[in-house]
């Protein structure tokens, strides 16, 4: 539990003493510790702090009573005065002012560093936070057991209300009460139903927070839609006097998820099990593996065995700006207004025949949860799927994950209209360098058309990233790996890429070859031109010098010249390039350009 000033003074290891301002009653806990030697630190305080000082600000004529009054009015919990530095003891005027105004005043001996008080308060706050997390986790487990029981949602609603110390009500889409936790909950239904009518006209998972005044009592209300994707099954409203603490908001979110499961677990719905798996996978990806496994076991969806691989197909990005693509190429047809996005019946579903989903969102290019269950579920070896921010996420067995990723990429491509699926032509390979002019061809022929890289979004390219094999406990990290692999695949124009393969191509795989060749041509052009006229071998000398880490004797020996000759060449190279060759950044750029030059 967070410490009060009195409790802090009772810790024997600190050796501090409460000498004034100990007001009767239940004192407020300390929220933080702050050190200041200002005569008015209140602009830098938010209230609840224990302020520490050695009295450097104290001077003749300073109104210490006014100083204490400012601290009290700012909500400071107490003042700790360090003795043995600026003052041998706390000034009497400060003690009298603290007593008169009721501000707890601590005497901090010279042997006790201020950091010790900060550590004690911080440890107590951390213990409080851990206890809150533990209580929330226990409450989530209780809510899960209530939701998975054979009883109606009323049990979960009553339990939720008890946990948040308020009331809860479950309403249908029309605003009629399906379950209430108490008479108070029943009384607020007509008022909450008005807000339900407003939310009913909005698409998506939009909620609302507002205050209501019923029977002379004001409550803060949180209203959340219940249902998967855009399929609304009802609304959950919870309320209590004052705002919901963070831990209680987590409980409400868990209850919404569990109520969604309850609505979606209809035996008449062929995709009910896939919906449950999606929610359980979401829990596992958030680090709640035990809760996910409990949920899976209760509905008969056996959690897949380790090792596992996460696949991610990111949402298609917005079209590039006009600056990136000045003019469309003839082989890049633009989407037409009369060319619709794919419908459910345009998807190949080898593992599912259901078409009960709401289709693509034309503005955001994302897929609702139902689509992930169908497209991902059609992939051989795919076990569970979900959607996050438009990203399609598939959990599959490590054995065969590479084939599953390729199959998923094909599924996504097959979902696109035929006229939009034309691949982007490969970028032309820069001309091979010639002995006389290593990069003349590249420099003379700057790239034209849209830059190489990820396929045009209009072409429907959606690369799939694969994580490294992982146990189920590592799924949160695996999701990050899969997203990084998908981004790397998009940058390289690949349909799929594994996380462990990102580094195999070296840094050359991180940029567009044509742009890299242009960079090398531009940077090294003064040296190439100098060598072309037969006035020296600056390019070869620079390469040897960099290969030997700037060491003159080994580099000169490799070239077969005297070290002074090499020094003159490097001085000239620096002058022609207009760069400082002693700079590590310049050396790195030149070395990169030489590698691109070949």
| CATH T-level assignment (fold) for domain 151-264 | Beta-Lactamase (3.30.450)
**Beta carbons of 47 and 75 less than 8 angstroms apart:** yes
Single pTM value for the model? 0.37
Q: Which two tokens stand for residue 47?
A: 């209230």
Longest distance between any two alpha carbons in the chain, whole Å: 98
How many helices and strands, by DSSP H and E, does the chain display? 18, 15
What are the start-end ranges of the E strands in 158-233? 167-171, 177-180, 208-214, 217-226
Strands 177-180 and 464-466: unpaired
**Beta carbons of 314 and 483 less than 8 angstroms apart:** yes
Contacts with 91 (C-beta within 8 Å, 6 or more apart), sequence order: 55, 58, 64
pLDDT for the residue 429: 38
37 forms beta bridges with none
Q: Which two tokens stand for residue 595?
A: 């590698």
Residue with tokens 């076990």: 383
**Beta carbons of 278 and 374 less than 8 angstroms apart:** no
**Beta carbons of 543 and 594 less than 8 angstroms apart:** yes
366 forms beta bridges with none
**Beta carbons of 72 and 99 less than 8 angstroms apart:** no
Any idea what DSSP says for residue 509? G
Cis peptide before 445 (omega within 30 of 0): no
Instruction: Calculate the alpha carbon distances from 39 to 43, 70, 580, 598 in Å.
Output: 11, 10, 51, 67
For the 308-321+340-418+452-506 domain, the top CATH level (class) is alpha beta
Q: Which two tokens stand for residue 457?
A: 């979004």
Within 13 Å of residue 274, how many CA atoms lie on the same side as its CB?
28
Q: Which two tokens stand for residue 332?
A: 């890049």
**Beta carbons of 106 and 79 less than 8 angstroms apart:** yes
Q: Which two tokens stand for residue 519?
A: 């960079």
Buried b (16+ CB within 10 A) or exposed e, 263-301: bbeeeeeebbbbbbbbbbbbbbbeebbebbbbbbebbeb
Instruction: Calculate the alpha carbon distances from 105 to 19, 102, 382 in Å.
Output: 6, 9, 64
* Whole-number Å distance between alpha carbons of 50 and 35: 8
* CATH 3.40.1390.20 correct for 5-123: yes
Instruction: Calculate the alpha carbon distances from 525 to 267, 529, 588 in Å.
Output: 71, 6, 17
Q: How many residues does the chain have?
A: 598
SS3 497: strand
pLDDT for the residue 115: 93
384 forms beta bridges with 395
pLDDT for the residue 60: 86
Instruction: Calculate the alpha carbon distances from 558 to 295, 541, 552, 554, 555 in Å.
Output: 68, 9, 10, 6, 5
25: enclosing H helix or E strand: none
171 forms beta bridges with 177, 235
Q: Which two tokens stand for residue 597?
A: 């030059």
* Whole-number Å distance between alpha carbons of 12 and 120: 12
Burial bucket for residue 330 (CB in 10 Å: 0-12, 13-18, 19+):
exposed
pLDDT for the residue 57: 92
pLDDT for the residue 447: 40
Spans of the chain below 50 pLDDT? 150, 267-268, 270, 318-378, 380-381, 416-459
pLDDT for the residue 438: 34
Burial bucket for residue 262 (CB in 10 Å: 0-12, 13-18, 19+):
middle
SS3 388: strand
* Whole-number Å distance between alpha carbons of 17 and 80: 9
**Beta carbons of 401 and 311 less than 8 angstroms apart:** yes
Q: How does DSSP assign 192-205, residue by residue?
A: HHHHHHHHTTS-SS
- Residue 155 CB neighbours (<10 A): 16
């Amino acid at each position: 539990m967070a410490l009060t000033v009195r409790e802090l003074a009772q810790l024997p290891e600190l050796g501090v003493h409460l000498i004034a301002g100990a007001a009767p009653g239940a004192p407020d806990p300390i929220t933080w510790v702050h050190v200041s030697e200002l005569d008015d630190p209140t602009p830098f305080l938010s209230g609840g702090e224990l302020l520490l000082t050695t009295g450097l600000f104290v001077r003749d004529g300073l109104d210490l009573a006014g100083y204490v009054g400012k601290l009290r009015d700012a909500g400071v919990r107490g003042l700790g005065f360090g003795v043995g530095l600026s003052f041998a003891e706390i000034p009497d005027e400060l003690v009298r002012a603290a007593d008169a105004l009721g501000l707890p005043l601590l005497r901090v001996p010279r042997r006790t560093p201020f950091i010790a008080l900060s550590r004690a308060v911080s440890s107590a706050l951390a213990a409080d936070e851990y206890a809150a997390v533990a209580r929330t986790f226990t409450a989530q487990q209780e809510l899960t057991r209530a939701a998975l029981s054979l009883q109606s949602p009323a049990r979960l609603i009553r339990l939720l209300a008890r946990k948040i110390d308020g009331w809860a009500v479950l309403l249908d889409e029309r605003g009629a009460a399906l379950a209430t936790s108490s008479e108070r909950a029943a009384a607020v239904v007509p008022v909450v139903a008005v807000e339900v009518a407003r939310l009913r006209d909005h698409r998506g998972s939009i909620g609302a927070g507002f205050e209501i005044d019923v029977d002379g009592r004001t409550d803060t209300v949180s209203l959340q839609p219940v249902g998967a994707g855009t399929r609304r099954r009802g609304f959950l409203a919870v309320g209590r006097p004052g705002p919901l603490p963070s831990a209680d908001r987590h409980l409400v979110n868990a209850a919404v998820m569990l109520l969604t499961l309850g609505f979606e677990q209809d035996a008449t719905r062929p995709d009910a099990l896939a919906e449950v798996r999606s929610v359980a996978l979401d829990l596992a990806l958030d680090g709640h593996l035990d809760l996910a496994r409990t949920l899976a076991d209760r509905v008969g969806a056996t959690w897949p065995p380790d090792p596992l691989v996460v696949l991610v197909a990111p949402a298609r990005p917005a079209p590039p700006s006009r600056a990136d693509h000045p003019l469309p190429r003839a082989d890049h047809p633009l989407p037409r207004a009369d060319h619709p996005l794919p419908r459910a019946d345009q998807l190949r579903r080898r593992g599912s025949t259901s078409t009960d989903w709401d289709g693509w969102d034309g503005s955001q290019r994302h897929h609702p949860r139902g689509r992930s269950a169908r497209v991902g579920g059609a992939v051989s070896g795919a076990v569970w799927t979900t959607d996050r921010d438009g990203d399609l996420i598939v959990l599959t067995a490590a054995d065969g994950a590479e084939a599953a990723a390729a199959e998923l990429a094909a599924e996504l491509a097959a979902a696109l209209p035929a006229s939009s699926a034309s691949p982007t032509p490969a970028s032309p390979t820069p001309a091979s360098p010639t002995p006389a002019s290593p990069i003349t061809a590249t420099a003379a022929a700057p790239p034209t058309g849209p830059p190489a890289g990820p396929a045009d979004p209009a072409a429907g390219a959606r690369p799939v990233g694969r994580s490294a094999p992982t146990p189920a406990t590592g799924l949160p990290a695996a999701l990050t790996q899969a997203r990084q692999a998908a981004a790397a695949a998009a940058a390289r124009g690949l349909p799929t890429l594994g996380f462990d393969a990102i580094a195999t191509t070296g840094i050359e795989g991180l940029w567009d070859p044509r742009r890299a060749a242009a960079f090398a041509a531009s940077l090294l052009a003064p040296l190439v031109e100098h060598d072309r006229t037969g006035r020296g071998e600056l390019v070869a000398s620079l390469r040897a010098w960099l290969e030997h880490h700037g060491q003159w004797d080994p580099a000169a020996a490799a070239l077969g010249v005297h070290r002074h000759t090499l020094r003159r060449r490097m001085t000239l190279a620096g002058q022609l390039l207009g760069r400082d060759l002693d700079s590590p950044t310049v050396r790195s750029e030149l070395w990169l350009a030489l590698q691109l030059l070949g």
